[in-house]
Amino acid sequence: MTDTLKICKRCIMPEYKPDITLNEEGLCNLCVAHDTAKKFETRKPLESDLIKILSKYQGKYKYDCMVMCSGGKDSTSALYYMKKRYKLNVLAFTFDHGFETDEAMDNIKNAVEKLEIDFLFFNSSFMKEMFAKIISSDSKAVICHPCSIWYMDLAFDVAARYEIPIIVAGWTKGQSNKQELMSKCGCNVHTAEFKAMAENTEHFLIMN
């Protein structure tokens, strides 16, 4: 007889030892950690806060900001607002890991042409080989992690090369749940739900 799947009575997260465990009350360690964590009162940033940051660097370099543009609604909206609302000199940057759709590329090309924005495009099929290797090796590495590490590193490198002080990205609500204005990655790889994924990905990258 197999064991019955145990789930947290609050968040219904399934028990997955050693990362996700349930206590005697039926609560997972993530919920317990949330309840016991020190709470800080935070004020959501206002548009005026963003304007202060943009104004601080506007006009000091060739480009005021770089917008990471995937061709989706969020990044395209960010591109529009930086150019039209805030009157910035923008460089649009697209990273194609080999899976960018024709529709997305058409959206980007139309946007940069209509907004008269300089456009930098990076394309590589390398990620297809890496994705295939993750699957064929039966690794527990998270496919998104190597790609994210690469494109974020590349974005910072491009910004440094062109002396661009601000990088802008469009996020759907829920994709980034830490803070609206970030100076570093919003996720905490040391928390239980991310720790195992990060370790598996790190092991895959070291071994390959």
Would you say 181 and 50 are in contact if contact means Cβ atoms under 8 Å apart? Answer: yes
Q: How confident is the model at residue 37 (pLDDT cuts 50, 70, 90)?
A: confident
Residue 173 — left, alpha, or beta (φ > 0 → left; ψ -120 to 50 → alpha)? beta
CA–chain centroid gap for 160, Å, is: 19
Structure confidence at residue 100 (pLDDT): 86
Domains of the chain with CATH codes? 1-41 (no CATH), 47-207 (3.40.50.620)
Would you say 161 and 61 are in contact if contact means Cβ atoms under 8 Å apart? Answer: no
Q: How far is CA 73 from CA 58, 78, 102, 123, 170, in A?
A: 25, 9, 15, 21, 8
Lowest-confidence pick of 45-54, 150-159, 163-172, 174-183: 174-183
Dump pLDDT digits (tens) for 172-187: 654 444 444 444 444 5
Dump pLDDT digits (tens) for 92-101: 999 988 888 8
Percent of the chain residues past pLDDT 90, beyond the cut: 44
Q: In what order do the strands lie in the sheet with 167-169?
A: 118-123, 90-96, 65-68, 167-169
- Comparison of pLDDT for 65 and 147, the residue scoring more: 65
